[in-house]
Structure 1
Amino acid sequence: MALRYKTVWKKDMRKDAQEGAKLLYGATVVTAQYSFDQLCKDITDNCSATASDVMMVVSAMVTMAKKALLRGETVVINGFGNLRLQAGSQGVASAEEFKTHLMKKPKMIFRPSTSLLEVRDQVRYEALQVTEKTVECDKPHSLD
């Protein structure tokens, strides 16, 4: 299987580009989703656990990961990667002025494991086949 891509024209941002110039770029396109149910089914095909067992374990893992993140811990999932929360704040002139409400909403940071990153070396690309579809409208329209 390959990653599918489409081509898109974007403004040429080079310093010496003429006004209105565009360049053609490739951009990957997501063509499907791998659902939680399908993931659990595929896991059951590769081990002795039942689908409900797998769902229960994965759901418990997510619950425990949320709790660990709220404690300020990094969640390490071997072979998959690390999750952590990271936040900053607005700046103030002195320590006395700093209050908790100045903290910004945290971002979820995911750092993939080395083994997960190896997938990038296996990627192949395939152009997305675009088909034009013409649909006749059966509703009356007025140009008044």
Structure 2
Amino acid sequence: MSSTTEETIPIFYLPWWDTFYVCVRCKAKLLSGGANQKWCSYCFIIYCGCRYCLTTNIIFGLTCQTHCKKCKRVTPIFMGNTIVNIGSNEIDDFVYKKRNIVNDLKNIYMKDIDNYDDNPLNVYDFFKEKLCVKSVSEAIIEWIPYSRITNLKEIG
């Protein structure tokens, strides 16, 4: 359950340590979060590694913690200096809804899961074939955290 939007968010549990430095959906460079955490500011996908089990959770939405499926450890999620206040104003909601792929992911993966046989690495093929299609046009909108604004002038 997402702590910011009160919606159920899908999580892919990978039984290996994921070391990619680019987002599996939009190929943008991942930003460093807390220890063993990376996230994509374009499509709000969070990659959390468990340093005890060497596994990875890929979280498709915003939340404040992750839970390791293997060792049951709960780890808080940090996204650097970025503050995302989903639900507090219309602009935040608009950007989140344009980038969030939760509904697409639920419908597509559950329908096509039989097409990817038993090889666990085929999850990356699924990302390439099904989720990367929409990302090109959506990359126009960029989330700019307040901490990156250096020259601010009030108008109006």
Which band: TM-score by shorter chain? Answer: under 0.3
Q: Given the two structures, how large is their TM-score scaled by the length of structure 2?
A: 0.19
Q: Which has the higher strand share?
A: 1
Q: Which has the higher helix share?
A: 1
Which structure: larger Rg?
Answer: 1
Q: Given the two structures, how large is their TM-score scaled by the length of structure 1?
A: 0.20
